[in-house]
Amino acid sequence: MDAINLQQQVIKAAKEKGILPQIPEISKIPIPAIHKIEWDLTFRCNDRCKHCVTDSGPERKEFTTFSDAIKIIDNIAEHTLLKRVRDYFKDVEFCFKPPAKLKELENLENPPKELTDKLSRDYLDCLHGKNYDTTIKYNNTSKKISFGRPHIRLSGGEFFMWPYRSDNKILSYKKRLEKQSELLKEIRKKLPDYDIWILTNGRFATSQEKADEVIRCWTKNASPIDEQGKVRICISIDPFHKPPSSSTIEEMLSRIWKSCKKFNISSPFFYGIPGREIYYAGRAFSTMKTGDLKNFKDISGSKFNPINNYCVATNDLSNTGCNEVTGFSVKIDNNSMVLVNNINISPDGHLAFCCAQVGDYGDFVNDPVNTLRMLIAHPIAFMLRKKEFVVSFLNLVVEMDPTIKAYGVRRNAAVGSTCYQLLTGKRN
């Protein structure tokens, strides 16, 4: 059964079984506000890791054109939660108090000697904006709200590899840096309150001069002139990332760290494999097997992120579940509800469902309003975003197509692999 037919049949069955509640017409759904953005500008990468969620690599050519990228920034700015609330109240103040751990990490003078499990989780919490003390002040009242500072994460693929072409010519890295600088300048101008997270594997840092050149480009236009949104470099360090040519992981980190200090931005953030687990999606879906893998090749050769074992696993809803089923809303007063989405943008400018960039909810470049509404109104997106429906829904999918393998049942149903198979039609 192909993915499209399976989706249609599952939706029909979910309605008949009462798993899918009544969804209002798309035209009646309020335009959701955007809070956080994960933007894969390209799937092209200077590495090819076997666990890559987006299946990126040197052979991939998909990328967002520069002109579309500017439109996307404009569309994000037009529909941010901050703008929606400010339009509604006219005179409102947002206060974002970061957690102590974030301040401690971004003020470190020297890189840690080892990326421990705890440190990796702390960095990941900061990456996702957890534990902020956030309030809005309006009409002489103050209200706590359940999200941290808004941010945009530039990832992929490798941000350093964007854009791939211009005017049908493959761009040199210096030309790419010019375009990256222009893009960051636009983000800072249109989204001054937003933190800009640049997620990178750091393989550009083949020398201190090269590291300085790249970090300078990324920070000169993205850094704020006041205490608004910050720019942060976030380096992925795990056993599947190769070090840059003629370097070690430790040398690469040292160069990037020195560059960040030189250009007066916060200490680099690191993320590896939180809890030593890799979620079973993307390339891991076809190249790995579930369970503990005690013998594997650590091609990073790094003592910074020492790993003796790891587990390829799915997200278990009996624990914290997949982050993608945590769509939420903010109640501003007794008469108003602003829907908030953490959106994912694919290289073609469409909204996708999750970090694995599966599903397609429309053209965010040319039709952002209906695209955002579809992210709320599409039956599968709706069920996967609601914990009270998702387990029954995934079990229904497996009943209808036994070639889809679910890991666990009822409260132990696993989200990652099942929704990936459903939305892409791929099987293990």
Query: For position 402, what pLDDT does the model report?
Result: 81
Residue 336 reports pLDDT greater than 80: no
pLDDT for 409: 67
pLDDT at 36 over 80: yes
Mean pLDDT within 36-58: 93
Name the DSSP class of 60: -
**pLDDT value at residue 231:** 92
Q: For residue 57, what pLDDT is reported?
A: 94
Position 384 confidence tier, pLDDT thresholds 50, 70, 90 = confident
Residue 213's identity, in one-letter code, is E
- The answer, yes or no, to whether residue 348 has pLDDT greater than 80, is yes
Q: Is 339 strand, coil or helix?
A: strand
Asked if pLDDT for residue 319 goes beyond 70, the answer is: no
Q: How confident is the model at residue 325 (pLDDT cuts 50, 70, 90)?
A: low
Average pLDDT, the chain: 87
d(C-alpha 30, C-alpha 45), whole Å: 37
Residue with tokens 């017409």: 25
Per-residue pLDDT, 357: 81
Query: What mean pLDDT is predicted for residues 38-46?
Result: 95
- In the chain, the largest separation of any two C-alpha atoms, in whole Å, equals 63
Q: According to the per-residue pLDDT averaged within each range, which of 217-231, 261-275, 414-428 is highest?
A: 261-275
- What are the b/e assignments for 224-263, b being 16+ CB within 10 Å? eeeeebbbbbbbbbbbbbbbbeebebebbbbbbbbbbbeb
65-69, 324-328, 402-406: which has the highest mean pLDDT?
65-69
Helical axes 173-190 vs 208-220, angle rounded to 10° = 30
- Does pLDDT of 70 surpass 60? yes
Q: Report pLDDT for 410.
A: 64
Q: What is the predicted pLDDT for the residue at 411?
A: 64
Are the C-beta atoms of 185 and 221 separated by less than 8 Å?
Answer: yes
Whether the predicted pLDDT of 261 surpasses 90: yes
State the pLDDT confidence band at 322, using cuts at 50, 70 and 90: low
Q: Is residue 115 predicted with pLDDT exceeding 80?
A: yes
pLDDT digits (tens, 9 = 90+) for 297-316: 888 989 898 887 888 887 77
Q: What is the pLDDT of residue 252?
A: 95
Q: Can you tell me the mean pLDDT for 181-197?
A: 94
Going by C-beta distance under 8 Å and a sequence separation of 6 or more, which residues neighbour residue 32? 79, 339, 340, 341, 372, 373, 375, 376
Tokens 């890559």 belong to 52
Residues 136-174: tens digit of each pLDDT: 888 888 888 877 889 999 998 999 999 989 888 999 999
If you average pLDDT over residues 59-84, what whole number do you get?
Answer: 95
Q: What is the pLDDT of residue 53?
A: 87
Scan for tokens 């530039």, then name that residue.
154
pLDDT at 64: 97
Sorting pLDDT into bands at 50, 70 and 90, what band is 218?
very high
